[in-house]
Amino acid sequence: MGHLNDIGNAILDVVRAEEAGLIAVRRDLHAHPELSFQEVRTAGVVAAELARLGIACRTGVGGTGVIADIQGGRPGITLAIRGDMDALPIEERTGLPFASQNNGVMHACGHDVHTSTLLGVAAILKRLAPEMSGTVRLLFQPAEEVLGGARAMIAEGALDGVDMALGYHNHPDIPVGSFGAVQGATYAACDRFRLVVRGVSGHAAYPQTTVDPIVAAAHLITGLQTIVSREVGAIDSCVVTIGAIHAGTVHNIIPDSCELLGTVRTLTDSIRERAEQAVFRFCAGLETSFRTPCDLDWNPGVPPTLNAPHVLETSVAAIRRQLGDVFVAGEPSMGAEDFSLIASAVPSFVLRIGSGTPGRSDQLHNSGYQPDEACIALGATALARAALELMARYSNPR
């Protein structure tokens, strides 16, 4: 790699030239959001932008994913950088001129920004490719919101030959211009479950002639909370949430069954296993206590997302050289990321890119969410610099 100042200036030159175009792409994607595994138009925009940059790509990977390799001028490792592309089933209420034109679908998690950011990385690294050691593999991933896209792309070879990976997410809790890097587990494991408490229906006035699944479910819901308070240590982290409950029709009928939908979030494999076993135990005990057999359908999601110390440290140092002292303290999030499947396969780091506007209290998955668009150029700059230094360093181990 050339002189560090030269690299920094070259990155800035590309970003200055591309920023307006990247924002235009982001606004176009924002106006045309697509749900998980339906990112057909989005993938088309990505392929067209890559073609404009002179970068060949493979489309239809893992459904609607796009993969593009940029070869460096020198041999070295292969570094994957992943950006997700899907939107959410939310009715947009931002009132923006480029608001969603698809009713009930919105880029409320900023994956439009992520897609545009990765195109910015592509532009920078294509320009600097002669200076680069190794190969960068850009992964434009579908279906992160349903935790399905990473698995689908990996199954179709997205990580074949990959040595290391970078991920990123916009963070409205971090002011734009600042970044976050969390040691160890940065995002949680996510498992989901559906359970049906089975009773015997009858007249509400004669509960003794019925087996009431609603009373049993009420005990179960409060009992499950004791997994966190009584079975997991206070220093460890675990969330058990019942997000939906469905039972009954009217006031004078005890129904036959009660359905519950829930999720468990944990930061380590051992707490994850322990929580799962406890949910099964509570369900099994319900029949003994309340005469209500319980069908539990456990849907394993994704493991915790772990940052590899050496990838994190090299990336943070590189970004500081490019942008200055831009990192703010952060803590693990109990939200989940299917990038965790990539981070489980190769040493990885997820960069948190500040997208918050001072004076606003935006939240991801909110119908009014507006990331500060300056985060696109800043994110692309940071990721490209981190990638260049990771590849220089680990292609030529010292």
Binding site for Ni ion (CB under 5 A): 109
Would you say 82 or 126 has its CB closer to Ni ion? 82
Map residue 254 onto helix, strand or coil.
strand
d(CA 109, CA 127): 29
Handedness of CA 67, 92, 332, 351 (dihedral sign): positive
Would you say 86 or 163 has its CB closer to Ni ion? 86
| DSSP tally for the chain: helices H, then strands E | 9, 16
Would you say 109 or 351 has its CB closer to Ni ion? 109
d(CA 30, CA 281): 45
Distance of CA 397 to the CA centre of its chain: 31
Q: CB of residue 84 vs Ni ion: minimum separation in angstroms?
A: 6
d(CA 174, CA 353): 7
d(CA 65, CA 10): 29
Would you say 109 or 143 has its CB closer to Ni ion? 109
Map residue 167 onto helix, strand or coil.
strand
Q: Extract the tokens encoding 46.
A: 């990505």
Q: CB of residue 187 vs Ni ion: minimum separation in angstroms?
A: 10
Task: Yes or no: say if 226 and 285 are a contact pair by the CB < 8 Å rule.
Answer: no
Task: Yes or no: say if 60 and 37 are a contact pair by the CB < 8 Å rule.
Answer: no
Q: CB of residue 114 vs Ni ion: minimum separation in angstroms?
A: 7
d(CA 183, CA 15): 29
Q: CB of residue 86 vs Ni ion: minimum separation in angstroms?
A: 9
Q: CB of residue 63 vs Ni ion: minimum separation in angstroms?
A: 18
d(CA 221, CA 93): 33
Q: CB of residue 234 vs Ni ion: minimum separation in angstroms?
A: 29
Minimal CB distance to Ni ion: which residue?
A: 109
Residue the block writes with tokens 């593009």 = 68
Q: CB of residue 88 vs Ni ion: minimum separation in angstroms?
A: 9
Would you say 214 or 239 has its CB closer to Ni ion? 239
Q: CB of residue 111 vs Ni ion: minimum separation in angstroms?
A: 6
d(CA 117, CA 383): 9
Would you say 115 or 257 has its CB closer to Ni ion? 115
Q: Cα dist. 278→114, 209, 210, 216, 220 in Å?
A: 37, 31, 28, 17, 12
Residues 6+ apart with CB under 8 A from 56: 50, 68, 69
Q: CB of residue 167 vs Ni ion: minimum separation in angstroms?
A: 11
Would you say 109 or 217 has its CB closer to Ni ion? 109
Would you say 109 or 152 has its CB closer to Ni ion? 109
Would you say 109 or 211 has its CB closer to Ni ion? 109
